[in-house]
Amino acid sequence: MEFLPKMHSILAFDAENTVCFHRPFHMIEQWMKLPYEEHADEATKHLLDSTHFRESRMPTAIVNTDKAIFYFQKAEDIILCFITHPDENEIFIAKMVNCIQQSLDELIPDRCSLSSETLRLDIDTFNWVIDAVIDDGVIICINPQKVVAQVKPFVQTKIVNPGNATQAK
């Protein structure tokens, strides 16, 4: 398992740069150089450094430290942060992030797939996609078609929140 690509945590920041979602993967703790307790603080520190997004014309920023790689992805009104081991391949991490985004785009076609609204209304779909891509911290799939095929049955049968009638399909 040592050679498999691993994800330490996924965080989402809202417009005020506060953490609105945090998904740690505890099964890979033995390979981590940055303790879980420091993930949100370290990610916030790097997020507030405006040079990271200014240097790139893309909605992404990669921050390499000696303890972790922080891969930031700007979306509608949130910024996702993927924290991995410093030895991970950034291109592979970018493919994984792209897989998550493409899968959500296909599974949630009626609105922006990566937004605070999605996290609020479709957190289960978001978590199912993450579970299909990452198993206990190990990245197992970066193919959006396979992820959608695995998650779609759950999305089609999920119980609709009565307070959100527009979610019914």
Domains and CATH numbers, the chain: 7-157 (3.30.450.60)
Q: Would you mind telling me the total number of residues written for the chain in this entry?
A: 169
For the stretch 140-149, pLDDT in tens is: 999 999 999 9
Cα 47 to the center of its chain, rounded Å = 15
Q: What is the pLDDT of residue 39?
A: 76
Paired sense of beta strands 19-24 and 7-13, if any: antiparallel
Contact in structure between 29 and 38 (CB atoms under 8 Å): no
Give CA–CA dist 15/80, Å, rounded: 11
Residue 85 confidence class, pLDDT cut points 50, 70, 90: confident
Percent over 70 (pLDDT), the chain: 80
For the stretch 115-164, pLDDT in tens is: 888 788 888 999 999 999 999 889 999 999 999 999 999 888 876 655 55
Query: SS3 of 122, please?
Result: coil
Q: What is the pLDDT of residue 140?
A: 94
Residue 109 confidence class, pLDDT cut points 50, 70, 90: confident
Within 7-143, residue ranges assigned H as helices are 39-48, 51-54, 90-107, 116-121, 123-133
Contact in structure between 11 and 17 (CB atoms under 8 Å): no
Q: What is the pLDDT of residue 101?
A: 92
Structure letter (DSSP) for residue 161:
P
Beta partners for residue 33, in sequence order:
none
